Amino acid sequence: MNRLLIITVLSLVASSAWAAKLVIKSQPEGAEIFITTNGKPVRLGVTPYEANLTEVMSTYVKSSSFMLELKKQGHNPYRVLLAKTDDVDLELTANLALDQAVSNIKEHDALMNQLFDVQKLVRGKNFRDAIMKLDELEKKHPALSIIPELKATAYYMNKEVENALSYYRRAFALNPDNHDAYRMKVYLEKKMGIDSEVQ
C-alpha cells in the first residue's frame, strides 16, 4: 500500500515537473489578468501569476487563438494575442504604461511642487537659486506664463528692475489673461518712464 502511494506521488511530481507553465508578470504588479476566447473575457487572477498551461488551455481556450489582457487602474490595458499551445512554457512580462490622464496629473503635481519650492526660495531672498530653478522649468514648459512671472518677481525683489520688466512682458505675452503680470508690466513701465506701446 505504501509503495503504491509513493509511486503515485512520484508519478504526479514527475509529470507536474515537466508540465508546461504559464507565467505572467507585470510592472507594476497587481494587474488583473483576463483570458478571452470567442469574445468572452474570464478573470484568471492577478500578477505575478503562475499556472499549469495545459490546465489553462483545456479550461478556457476553445479556439485556435486567445487573448490575454492585463488591467490595472490608472494604467493603459496591455493585450497580447496568442496561438493555442500547451506543450511549451509561456512567460509574459508586461510594462503597463500610465494612463495619459494620470500621467498628466503626476506631471502637473511635480511642476506645482517645483513652483512651491521656487516661492520658498524667493521668500527666503535666495533669488539666484530661484531664478536658476525657473530657468530649468522654463526649458521644460516654455508656454507657461507663471514661470516668467515668478522669474520677474524674483528679479524685482532683487532690485533688477529691467530684467523684471522683461519677464513681466514675457508672462503677459504668453497669457494676456495674466492680470498680475500686466499690472506689474504697466507699473514698471510708468516707473521707468517707458511708453507701454514701445517695447
The pLDDT tens digits for 159-193 are 999 999 999 999 999 999 999 999 999 999 998 88
Q: Is the pLDDT of residue 100 over 80?
A: no
The highest-level CATH class for domain 101-191 is mainly alpha
**Listed residue (73, 4, 71, 83) closest to 41, CA to CA:** 71
The pTM of this model reads: 0.52
Q: Pinpoint the residues of the chain covered by CATH 1.25.40.10.
A: 101-191
Every domain range in the chain assigned CATH 2.60.40: 20-97
127-154, pLDDT tens digit by residue? 999 999 999 999 999 999 999 999 999 9
> Could you tell me where the beta strands, DSSP code E, fall in 53-188?
65-71, 78-83, 90-95
Strand residue runs (E) in the chain: 21-27, 32-37, 40-46, 49-52, 65-71, 78-83, 90-95
Class in CATH terms, 20-97: mainly beta
Higher pLDDT, 40 or 9: 40
Taking CA atoms, 92 is separated from 63, 99, 193, in Å, by: 20, 21, 69
Question: What's the pLDDT at 141?
Answer: 92
